[in-house]
Amino acid sequence: MATAPIRFGIWALVHGPRAAHQDPEEPYDASWERNRALILAAEELGYDSTLIAQHTINPHQEDLDQLEAWSAAAAIAALTKRIEIIAAIKPYLYHPVVLAKLALGIENISRGRFAINLVNAWNRPELEKAGIGFPEHDARYAYGREWVSVVSRLMEGERLTYAGEHFNVTDYALRPTSVYRKRPAIYVGGESEPARDLVAGHGDVWFINGQPLEDVAGLIADVAARPRGAAPPLRFGLSAFVVARETREQAQAAYERLLSLAAKDSPMRAIQKQNTDPKVVMMQTMQKTPRVGSNGGTAAGLVGSYDEVAARIEAFHAAGIELFMLQFQPFEAEMRRFALEVIPRVRAKQPTGPAERLARSLG
């Protein structure tokens, strides 16, 4: 499979630690100040992208802080110069006309570095308590498909008249459009059958949750074979939690420390399970193997020596993964370690430099 050059991204810490909430090395901090410093440091270290997850209330424990994704994305866009900014969006929370306008605004603030990540919601209270309702799994994807078709056309500058099951838009056009490209990029998450159809029909990049290489390769083969019409070939990203050390034994010890700490969060995970639609494939996948981190976490196998982790990244890349959206803990220290020890090992085998990678990814 022809694959774009490797890019590395980080998950913003919008709702605290990614692996364990009772880690003395990483106190809970989901503040704007911390996230601003984190993303600026990531850009300085050479990371290519950041993902800002969207939750209106904390998905683990509602009395914990939760950074708002879209206002944070706009602020980050003004402060950064190179890094791609991906803001997640749950369609039920924003009318497509309003969301498309917001996206185009951040696209131009960032000078063509913005993307949306469409997720169709798993956290039931977030919608139910707002009086929005929480439709059945496949109905949420049907809504998301119609929603993104309106958003993408408006972001492209089309004067749109649309009548569908959920939306009725008449003679609507947004200005200005992107002055840098056709529109912001569209990432899509979810691995169910409706999710695969949605991303094949409307996405630019499919985010896959962390899992073993053979499973990821199978997912890529399935979705890459689906019809796309005149759209360019779909690209692929992978979420993964990294534990990298000089030796395999050191990495395993660090992983076991996090696994032990994560066990203390079992009451929090029980609440999350209760609030989650059981049909969400991500949650089903995450039950298959022990792991730390969200969205598959260490199930992707990026635990080991620097050389081992670099080799596994190269294997995923050969299978079709372009963007690795990474988690760490403690985040700042381990993000720096990865940038200094693993990224150079991977980059040494890549034929292109950062400028070409970014230009190609923003297309």
295 backbone φψ class: left, alpha, beta (φ>0; ψ -120 to 50): left
Contact call for residues 137 and 105 (beta carbons, < 8 A): no
Tokens of 329: 């803990």
Distance, in Å, from the CA atom of 121 to the CA atom of 136, rounded to the nearest integer, reads 11
Residue 358 confidence (pLDDT)? 45
Q: In this predicted structure, what is the pLDDT of residue 66?
A: 93
What pLDDT is recorded for position 266? 84
CA-angle at 94, arms to 115 and 206, nearest 5°: 35
Q: What tens digit of pLDDT does each residue of 188-247 get?
A: 999 999 999 999 999 999 999 999 999 999 999 999 999 998 899 999 999 999 999 999
pLDDT value, residue 363: 41
What pTM was computed for the model?
0.92
Check: CB of residue 124 under 8 Å from CB of residue 273.
Answer: no
The pLDDT value recorded for residue 287 is 59
pLDDT of residue 341: 98
What is the distance between the alpha carbons of residues 10 and 336, in angstroms, rounded to a whole number?
11
Stretches in the chain below the pLDDT threshold 50:
354-363
Q: Cβ–Cβ contacts within 10 Å for residue 167, how many?
A: 16
12 exposure class (CB count in 10 Å sphere: 0-12, 13-18, 19+):
buried
pLDDT at 214: 98
Predicted pLDDT of residue 54:
94
| Average pLDDT along the chain | 92
